[in-house]
Structure 1
């Protein structure tokens, strides 16, 4: 499918460096990926792996201390890197929706939910106040908030955590975006509300046909909703594959280690769950070796000398590793 349909989002060789008093931090290192129309791409990895920074780099949402470079960041064939600030603002408002990680800090506490929902509709779609409020109420109903019209007058603190997350999703979807970027939207929610949000997103995706990038550290969530998975570590992509292929045939030692931390529902793995020893790398310089080498059970001398480039294992499945999981030795 991806060979026949032009990608909705196509990123080539993205780098992001934060300039700090203690020196540069290379948060994103040569990241390349694409998202097809209607596809749900799951992005997984530990905290600090570069998931959120990658997506915020694309949309120009980082502070001035960040230096972002890329060969290309194309949205529907248009290079975002060449856009003016005004054009990028329109893109973010109309074509790309962003659900931020924490609704507590993403919603302005001094404005009503209705005001915050209608602002984008009036700015980007040119709707009148009456039309915008009708659309806002429609969106709140769509995401499962009862008595939506009356709740437009409520402030964020009058909503529960799960309801605030639904409001954030409604805001992101209000202008019918072609791409939704959801940054760990269910992390702070209990499992019941999390399941409701996941079902909601699956239903909205089917109804609206939008592409989705779902950022999470939870492989269990990805298994239930994603078409394809991108595993990140040390600010780079270490493995990428269709979701069923990744779970059945993981190739990178980090992906394998992540899967070993998941409990088995079938009882086929009676031993204690594994943990991943060690800490993520401090990215104070450009990577000249494999960032996972210090924690890897399959580490080789070459891993300390060279940072592996991604190689194709099979169609649609690539991995950045000098070790071959299939042969159990050097690639």
Structure 2
């Protein structure tokens, strides 16, 4: 992993997560390493099943065990290895120091409690506020995320909010205790484009105001282009490329990254171009990877790709890639 210019608030090394099923083990996350710098927004992209969400849920013990098992790795946060922390230590960190926003707020918010209770609960538990102070802070949080008439809406239940407003409530809950890190797992996927734009604008404003670091998980490269500082590209449970957002979009080094970028819709003049697709299917992660997971879909695949799993090498400032092919020469790398 390459060192960032700013101190890391989260440092993940060689993370490996396996699911045990009746048909055998599924190797969902394979030796993933990355860091998150103070105040930066790290975009994590890849197709469904690439390991994005499982990686982030592994960090703070959100996966059910069994069937999930975090088999290897280190997750350094505030001088603590989260993978060696007990459940009480993790509970003290979740919500208080690391906030998590899930994709579907309707299934994440409890339908039998009003929004005020769900906002006040972490404030009373983690920050020790009494009921009066917690209520005042809850109103401030709803106002912070742009929900009008916040005082009255504390009494409302999740079903009384629109999809976009529910997502704002989820963000408010995640921000309640001023976390150092916010992990957002495809929080705008189920929203229409207008609401999505409002949520993205809100997150940008909150990040600027609060100075927290953010991990934004998505399959939408257009979203990442507009908000991220750095991008992590995942495929087959592995990181295949990472780098600064402008560098990676302008000069992608991995065939999968290039293929992802080609699937983004373009309009030139009065005509829209035909959408491109990545041929083939994502790999079955039924065993320890011993070859490049993208080889069967890769136009640049060579015999070596079926014999070895590429390691990440530096290809520029804070830019690395796991690939034997060099797009600059059109030939195999001498590594």
Q: TM-score range by the shorter chain?
A: over 0.9
- 1:60 aligned residue: 61
Deviation of 1:69 after TM superposition, in Å, equals 2.9
- 2:7 aligned residue: 6
- 2:315 aligned residue: 313
Alignment partners' CA distance in 2, 1:87 and 1:70: 19
Alignment partners' CA distance in 2, 1:234 and 1:294: 12
SS at match of 1:165: helix
Alignment partners' CA distance in 1, 2:238 and 2:23: 22
For structure 2, the residue ranges without an aligned partner over 5 or more in a row are none
Over 3 Å counting, the alpha-carbon distance change for 1:316 and 1:150 in structure 2 is same
Deviation of 1:87 after TM superposition, in Å, equals 1.0
Deviation of 1:201 after TM superposition, in Å, equals 0.3
Q: Give 1:25-174 correspondences, 5 Å limit.
A: 25-64=26-65, 65-174=67-176
CA contact (8 A) 1:7 1:76 kept: no
1:24 paired with 2:25, answer: yes
Post-superposition CA distance 1:240-268 (Å, at most 9, x none):
01000011000101000010011225559
SS at match of 1:71: strand
CA contact (8 A) 1:12 1:70 kept: no
Alignment partners' CA distance in 1, 2:229 and 2:175: 20
Q: Which moved more, 1:311-320 or 1:9-18?
A: 311-320
Deviation of 1:76 after TM superposition, in Å, equals 2.3
TM-score, length-scaled by structure 2: 0.96
The alignment covers a number of residue pairs equal to 331
Q: Which moved more, 1:293-302 or 1:227-236?
A: 293-302
CA contact (8 A) 2:3 2:318 kept: no
SS at match of 1:247: helix
Deviation of 1:4 after TM superposition, in Å, equals 4.3
Post-superposition CA distance 1:171-201 (Å, at most 9, x none):
0001000000000000000000000000000
Alignment partners' CA distance in 2, 1:271 and 1:222: 21
Q: Give 1:157-196 correspondences, 5 Å limit.
A: 157-196=159-198
Q: Which moved more, 1:269-278 or 1:287-296?
A: 269-278
Over 3 Å counting, the alpha-carbon distance change for 1:306 and 1:269 in structure 2 is farther
Over 3 Å counting, the alpha-carbon distance change for 1:2 and 1:122 in structure 2 is same
Over 3 Å counting, the alpha-carbon distance change for 1:293 and 1:4 in structure 2 is closer
| C-alpha RMSD of matched pairs (Å) | 1.5
Deviation of 1:271 after TM superposition, in Å, equals 4.9
